[in-house]
Chains A and B, each alone.
Chain A
Amino acid sequence: MDVVIVSVLSGMSYGVVLFLVAAGLSFVLGLMGIVNVAHGALVMTGAYAGIHVAKATGSLILGGLAGALLAGLVGFLLERAFLRNLYKFQLEQILVTFGFIYILANIHLWVYGSWPLDAFVPSVLNGSVVIGRFSFSVFRLLIMGIGAVLCPVLWWIQDRTRIGAVIRAGMDDPDMLAVMGINLRPVNIAVFFAAASLAGFAGVIGAFPLGGVTLGLGQDMIFLAIAVVVVGGVGSIQGAFAGALTMGVFSSVAGTYLPAAAIFVPYFLMVAILIFRPQGLLGRSEA
């Protein structure tokens, strides 16, 4: 029984990290039609900077803000300098952003060296809860708590605010939005910045369940994040949350009981959703 409980809880904490990464990616894809495969590298960028700030200051909050800000800035530069003219060219988007995975990985190799970076866990959260034979970290419970708070907040912004309405309208009918005199360009920039910031923040708190930050984190995260977006549905916070938790728990339980299949689970789920519910679990239907 302890194995099942720890497996599910571990999957949920991992799923929250996936949610924070995938939520921004989902909106960028849904609103701007941009396939940003460098989104995972933004997770790494935020993680390295944020964890160093957290270790220097002893504050996870400051580290999280620093990671979010730097990743947001890098994302902003990426959009303004390279992607702004490639909105309609998906192959070019993929090529450019794929190149940025390597550029960012090599910059971090040069600055921080090659060994993985350990997560920052405040001493007050260093404890654990005993579940049978295992200890389950209090920090993972915090991560789940962060997900439980952020998801409704982001959902509220999406569904109950003017900016959320503009974003949803922009996904459904950008031409109509333009006719109504709403300039979507600043919205696009703001969404890209916010998505990148969320990814950077995910890197800081996600370093713990991910076992540290590595230079390959960008490549590892992006494929999973894309799978989450497909499973949950494009352009939907609740979809990203549902998809991420589903992915996290299924992967964890599969790893425990069917290790040979663990690597396939996220992609098997993605294929199944594409066949039976192409809009995703809670995605927006085609207009």
Chain B
Amino acid sequence: MRQVSRLQILSLVVLAVFLASYASGPARAAEPIKIGGLFELTGFLNPIGKDAQQGAMIAIEQEGGKLMGRPLEFIVEDSATDPSTTMDKARKLVEVDKVKIIVGPIFGPCTTGLAGYGDKVQIPLISIAPLDDAVILQNKWSFSTPGTDTGMGYPMGVFAATKLGYRRVATLGSDFEAGHEFIGGFVQGFQENGGKIIQQQWSPPGSTNMMPFLIAVDKQADALCAWWPGAEGFSGFKQYTELKMKLPIMEPEDGGTLASPLVTKGLGEGAIGAYTAVLYSYLADKPGNKEFVAAYQKKYGVAPGPIAGCGYAAVKIALEGLKRAGLNSSSQKLRDVLMSLKMDSVRGPVDFQNRRVTSYTAPIVRIDQNYVPQIVAEYRTKIDIVGGKFVYSLEK
């Protein structure tokens, strides 16, 4: 038998120590900071869910993969435009991935269910689109970054009455909370300025056959105010174009479709001349917007639509909150920081004012002959909470 020399034994020991230190090395490196993203990548809102994800990715990439010296990880899950899937994915993000904060999703029924979970596990939830009024008032860990649905529709109603001179308007909205609130905000702003709503219709959520509702619009109306999110907007405008309706059309919020550079042209001639308030405009002169638009165009070949801008802004708010709360901060500390967060964004100033909802700027755009959403007005909606209800007015 060959004798093992002392030198060979020593070499083996050195090798073993080296391998052991190498194996344990990565465990000692800094743990990543994890942010969760829930987006509608499938389901009837998947077009705008994808937009939001793309905008969010630009915000993450601008951090260069690190936050406060630690690796930054953005874990994206598909909420599938479905509340139960949203809950499953949220549980995975919180309990398995251990994220510190979640951005998204968009769909109202999903954010409503998620808000209760956020309160239970005490993790901040940053919305991409406006949250339902009830969620903002009742749930303590949900932050509505672009204000409220009602507050979004409000300035469009004011604009329709005071600038466009409409007196009688018919409305047609998607029949779920967001539809009722966007249209409700429009109705409030319109009626406060002397207008009259002569008809209200509600189409089933996800419906792509708008013909019955469009042909039923009251012929006494001066204009139609419609709210169609995602794929509904695509069908709605196509069928409005098909019918060659002479009635002017506007939206209290573009639903991620009308003012989205990727799809506006595909909506047909009926989109030309349409007005809408938008959550974000790539043409707006806001801090950081030029850089965001340039980065988005470079990566995706098209200017960002309203929901892409909202995805970007939501992640920026989450990142700023994490930075200000500091490394290894608790969830409560992070929440407290967000409650008093004031910052600039590509959407205009963000100021939560200890209320988890920020007043915001709503550009009103008109689709021109080249399908470009030109800004024609800008309103800043002031949100007050009086007696447990939201009260809206326009800031001077």
Contacts and interface: CB of A to CB of B under 8 A. Distances in A.
A256 B44 CA distance: 23
Nearest to A118: B266
A128 interface: yes
Contact of A114 (B49, B213, B238): B49
B90 interface: no
B201 interface: yes
B107 to A, nearest CB: 13
Interface in A66-121: 102, 105-106, 109, 113-116, 118
B109 to A, nearest CB: 15
A155 B236 CA distance: 35
A115 B262 contact: yes
> What secondary structure prevails in chain A residues at the interface with B?
helix
Contact of A256 (B50, B213, B235, B244): B213
A256 B204 CA distance: 13
Contact of A106 (B42, B47, B211, B236): B42
Interface residues of B, number: 37
A72 B269 CA distance: 36
Contacts of B49: 114
B41 A109 contact: yes
A260 B212 contact: no
A52 to B, nearest CB: 15
Given A114-B46, A118-B238, A134 B245 contact: yes
Interface string B204-237: 1011111111011001000000000001001110
Given A118-B238, A134-B244, A211 B213 contact: no
B219 A210 contact: no
Contacts of B238: 118, 211-212
B203 interface: yes
B203 A259 contact: yes
A212 B233 CA distance: 11
B234 A254 contact: no
A114 B50 contact: yes
Contacts of B204: 262-263
B377 interface: no
Contacts of B245: 133-134
B287 interface: no
Contacts of A118: 238, 266
A116 B244 contact: no
Contacts of B212: 7, 10-11, 251-256, 259, 262
B289 interface: no
B166 interface: no
> What secondary structure prevails in chain B residues at the interface with A?
mixed
Please tell me the size bucket of the interface on A. Answer: 35 or more
B117 interface: no
A134 B243 contact: yes
B209 A214 contact: no
A135 interface: yes
A257 interface: yes
A215 B188 CA distance: 35
B263 interface: yes
Contact of A3 (B43, B215, B262): B215
Nearest to B53: A114
Interface string B176-210: 00000000000000000000000001111011111
Given A251-B212, A256-B216, A263-B204, A212 B50 contact: no
B209 A209 contact: yes
Interface string B42-63: 1110110110000000000000
Contacts, number: 116
A48 interface: no
Interface string B303-340: 00000000000000000000000000000000000000
Point out which of B211, B231, B242 has the most chain A C-beta atoms below 10 A from its C-beta. B211
B127 interface: no
B208 A133 contact: no
A259 B46 contact: no
A14 B211 CA distance: 10
B239 interface: yes
Contacts of B209: 14, 209-211, 251-252, 255
Interface in B240-272: 242-246, 262-263, 266
Given A118-B266, A134-B244, A211-B239, A10 B231 contact: no
A105 B263 CA distance: 20
A216 interface: yes
Nearest to A254: B212
Contacts of A254: 212
A177 B277 CA distance: 66
A10 B211 contact: yes
Contacts of A214: 44, 46, 208, 231, 234
Nearest to B201: A259
A225 interface: no
A14 B219 CA distance: 24
Point out which of A6, A7, A114 has the most chain B C-beta atoms below 10 A from its C-beta. A114
A141 to B, nearest CB: 13
A257 B231 CA distance: 24
Given A212-B235, A216-B206, A255 B46 contact: no
A3 B216 contact: yes
Contact of A259 (B202, B235, B243, B263): B202
B180 to A, nearest CB: 13
A59 interface: no
Nearest to A216: B44
Q: Top 8 nearest A-B pairs by Cβ distance?
A: A211-B235, A255-B212, A135-B244, A114-B50, A263-B204, A211-B208, A256-B216, A256-B212
Interface of A: 3, 6-7, 10-11, 14, 102, 105-106, 109, 113-116, 118, 128, 133-137, 209-212, 214-216, 220, 251-257, 259-260, 262-263
Given A134-B244, A255-B209, A262-B212, 7 more contacts: A114-B46, A209-B211, A211-B208, A212-B234, A215-B46, A252-B212, A257-B216
5 contacts: A3-B216, A209-B209, A211-B238, A252-B209, A255-B216
